[in-house]
Amino acid sequence: MSEPPAPHPWFDASETPRVLAHRGLVTDDALSAGIVENSFAAVAAAHAAGAIYLESDCHLTRDGEVVLFHDDELLRIADDKRRIDEVDLRELEQLMAERGGLVTLAQALDSFPDVRFNIDVKADAAAEAAGTIVGPFADRVLLTSFSDQRRRRALESALHANPAQRPATSAGSATVARLILALTIRSRRGVAAALDGIDALQLPERHGALRVVSPRLLEAAHRHGVEVHVWTVNEPDDMRRLVALGVDGIVTDRAADALALLKV
């Protein structure tokens, strides 16, 4: 088997294990003050705590702006029943003003130049726009989505904006399913095909009764130069156990605690 390709520049910022701040960092005090996930304040808090890697999500507003937001609607965050794609940027800025402040994808990349962003494209409509924004920052962005089709569209758009460097990427659900099947039937060719063009696997440790992150999966991923990041891990004992197992990154709501615990 040929040597795996050199790691993408996204991985150059630190040694493993990596701590990925899940939707930024919202402490208990910040939560009490009304600060919410994926806000400007949450991103700034993760940065201030020393997080180099930040996981976030993006959607497209009605007027075509890519914003950091997880849900496709405002109900959970702002007690508003509208969808993100039904709201203009200015309206969303007003809604988020007392919740930590709205941040667009472009603002995040410009405002935090030493942060590596892990961007999950949540909406089909956001794929091309997100890719175009990310293109000039491809060395410090990992693009992903549960939808492999959406992920590939975002990557194509990013490459069109910056042909010199594609963003890093992690596998979508269909690719992960193909990998697990190939591992189950012990098809080395199937494993190689599933991991082709993939820089990271970002997975839950378990999916229902199925154990997803296993020694066999870790060995196969590492053999192909692919990292394994596990989400969402908040308990210290689980962090220690998974790092001892060999995972390369922890996606966590408690980035400050994880950085101190894992000393990275």
Q: Which residues are catalytic?
A: 22, 70
Strand partners, 251: 20
Round to whole Å and give the CA distance between 229 and 237: 16
* Identity at 156, one-letter amino acid code: E
Cβ within 8 Å of residue 190, ≥6 positions away: 178, 179, 181, 182
Round to whole Å and give the CA distance between 221 and 202: 11
Residue 164, number of CB atoms within 10 A of its CB? 9
Quickly list DSSP for 163-192.
TT-PPEEB--HHHHHHHHHHHHTT-HHHHH
Sign of CA pseudo-dihedral 156, 162, 165, 169:
negative
Cβ within 8 Å of residue 107, ≥6 positions away: 40
Task: Residue 95: name the closest of 117, 109, 76 by CA.
Answer: 76
* Identity at 250, one-letter amino acid code: I
* Identity at 223, one-letter amino acid code: R
Backbone angles phi, psi at 234, to 5 degrees: -115, -15
